Amino acid sequence: MRKEDCFYLGKIAKKFSYKGEVLIYLDTDEPGLYENMESVFVEFNKHLVPFFIESSSIHKGDFLRTRFEDIDSEEEAEKILGCEVYLPLSMLPKLEGDKFYFHEIIGFDAEDLRLGNIGKITGVNDTSAQPLFEILKGDIEILVPMIDDFIVKVDRENKKIILDTPEGLVDLYLDI
């Protein structure tokens, strides 16, 4: 399995018991969706390795208490501490309406109600407090805050996002 075909689910945060159980921090808004998985991919030595789950349960909200097959001791659990956990993209729940996954909109056209097509979405910058659409128009990069009020429609069929940006925001980049 390639990392590009997967999404980041979380990280093996700590050992839980002397029998090799671990706590996986789930980086998701809905941890309950991932309580009954059969397996996950663990990034070990820069490779995704399948790990089969014997048992798991939600622990204190954001953690998944997990017992993997073939990990029966604290020493074995220690080896995978800090490793990132992934699942195939096909396991993501389908989103509808104007909700979307960041990876899903890469390549979509960005269309502003006032300005028309303002470029192609090349990425999402989520390193700041407010995620930003990264839009490329020719050789100009336009950054638009990912605010619900700006997003009019996500048109998956035509691969475009329709935005209603305030006057001056996009104009600043395009010298309008």
pLDDT tens digits along 90-140: 888 777 788 888 888 999 999 999 999 999 999 999 888 899 999 999 999
CATH 2.30.30.240-classified regions of the chain: 102-174
pLDDT at position 175 over 90 = no
Q: What is the pLDDT of residues 144-153, one digit of tens each?
A: 999 999 999 9
The listed CATH number (2.40.110.20, 2.40.30.60, 3.30.420.10, 3.30.420.40) that belongs to domain 3-91 = 2.40.30.60
**What tokens appear for 48 in the block?**
């995704």
**What tokens appear for 113 in the block?**
């109600």
Topology adopted by domain 102-174: SH3 type barrels. (2.30.30)
CATH 2.40.30.60-classified regions of the chain: 3-91
CA distance 144 to 165: 8
CA distance 60 to 175: 51
CA distance 2 to 88: 9
